[in-house]
């Protein structure tokens, strides 16, 4: 039984990359797909480029909406998608021409199919990024390892539409919206497959932040998302993840305190104290 793939491409002022992104879809050896281009209120020539592709191939579908952010654009695409699998693809990224063929070649029994990826800047491949491991594709790994041991670019995944039933990206979050999606699709422990080839290509134009800056951001962003997890999944997962974070961050912040204080002038400790204050009752229970 063949499966149809719905590709959701949110666009906001990415006219310089959109043609390359959409060409990578037209190049797919697997042909049963639709691409939903969601123009999220762009002020450049995104609309003209999108309409050109709609005329070129009927599998391209165009949605024009007011600017609401990437989560809003992805949600608009989910509303329109008719495929058996969902592929998210940001408009400045690309896919290998064999991604769908190799992902769906074995069987449709897998509800989550994840490929390896490459990262490139200015057309140059950036070496040194960790490969995705099969044991990352579990609920516990996603909840407790995300941003600490690994992340998985969203376009690595081919996701059964069933796993996304009832899910929409949270419009209140500025960060970690992808992580929330991964938690949602992994909550029922779907059968997952890893395609050990780099079939997704992620563009990284910004310079990598320092370790201390990254660590501060991880901490503060998790404080933001934990109340959302509590709302969606109840106190058990919220408290379990909070306890885990307390242990992880306490240990690592102590280990790195001296180095971080030299770099940040004490900001890392401020972040930690903010986190501890937020979860004061949990600390009381733990200690």
- The range of the structural domain enclosing residue 231 comes to 211-286
**Do 176 and 73 share a structural domain?**
yes
pTM over 0.85: no
- Residue in the structure block whose two tokens are 């974070």: 245
**Do 143 and 22 share a structural domain?**
yes
How many Å separate Cα 133 from the centre of its chain? 16
220 in helix, strand or coil?
helix
From first CA to last CA, the distance across the chain in angstroms is 55
Q: What is the mean pLDDT of residues 126-154?
A: 84
Between 231 and 168, the higher pLDDT residue: 168
Phi then psi for residue 188, to 5 deg, are -100, 15
Quote the mean pLDDT of the chain. Answer: 82
Per-residue pLDDT at 286: 46
Give the model's confidence band at 281: pLDDT under 50 very low, under 70 low, under 90 confident, else very high: very low
Most confident of 4-8, 142-146, 213-217, 241-245: 4-8
Q: What is the mean pLDDT of residues 99-108?
A: 83
- 183-218, pLDDT tens digit by residue? 999 988 999 999 999 999 988 765 444 444 455 566
Q: What is the DSSP letter of 279?
A: T
Q: What is the DSSP letter of 150?
A: B
Per-residue pLDDT at 4: 95
Residue where a domain stops, chosen among 163, 179, 203? 203
Per-residue pLDDT at 230: 74
* Cα–Cα dist 245/280, whole Å: 13
**Do 172 and 83 share a structural domain?**
yes
Number of domains into which the chain is organized: 2
Per-residue pLDDT at 280: 47
**Do 94 and 10 share a structural domain?**
yes
Write the CATH number for 60.
3.90.550.10
Nearest CA to 11 out of 92, 103, 78 is that of: 92
Q: How many CA atoms lie within 13 A of 228 on its CB side?
A: 20
């Amino acid at each position: 039984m063949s499966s149809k793939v719905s590709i959701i491409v949110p666009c906001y002022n990415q006219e310089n990359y959109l043609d390359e992104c959409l060409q990578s879809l037209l190049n797919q050896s697997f042909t049963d797909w639709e691409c939903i281009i969601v123009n999220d209120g762009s002020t450049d020539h995104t609309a003209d480029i999108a309409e050109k592709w709609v005329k070129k191939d009927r599998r391209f579908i165009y949605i024009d909406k007011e600017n609401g952010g990437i989560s809003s654009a992805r949600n608009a695409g989910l509303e329109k998608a008719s495929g058996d699998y969902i592929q998210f693809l940001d408009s400045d990224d690309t896919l290998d021409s064999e991604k769908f063929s190799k992902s769906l070649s074995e069987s449709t029994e897998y509800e989550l199919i994840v490929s390896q990826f490459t990262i490139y800047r200015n057309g140059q491949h950036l070496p040194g990024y960790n490969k995705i491991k099969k044991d990352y594709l579990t609920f516990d790994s996603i909840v407790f390892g995300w941003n600490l041991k690994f992340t998985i670019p969203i376009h690595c995944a081919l996701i059964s539409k069933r796993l996304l039933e009832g899910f929409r990206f949270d419009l209140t979050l500025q960060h970690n919206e992808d992580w929330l999606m991964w938690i949602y699709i992994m909550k029922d422990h779907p059968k997952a497959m890893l395609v050990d080839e780099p079939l997704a290509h992620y563009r990284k134009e910004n310079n990598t932040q320092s370790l201390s800056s990254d660590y501060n951001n991880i901490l503060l962003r998790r404080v933001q998302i934990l109340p959302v997890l509590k709302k969606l999944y109840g106190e058990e997962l919220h408290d379990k993840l909070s306890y885990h974070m307390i242990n992880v961050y306490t240990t690592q912040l102590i280990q790195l305190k001296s180095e971080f204080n030299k770099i940040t002038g004490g900001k890392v400790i401020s972040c930690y104290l903010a986190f501890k204050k937020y979860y004061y009752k949990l600390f009381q229970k733990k200690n």
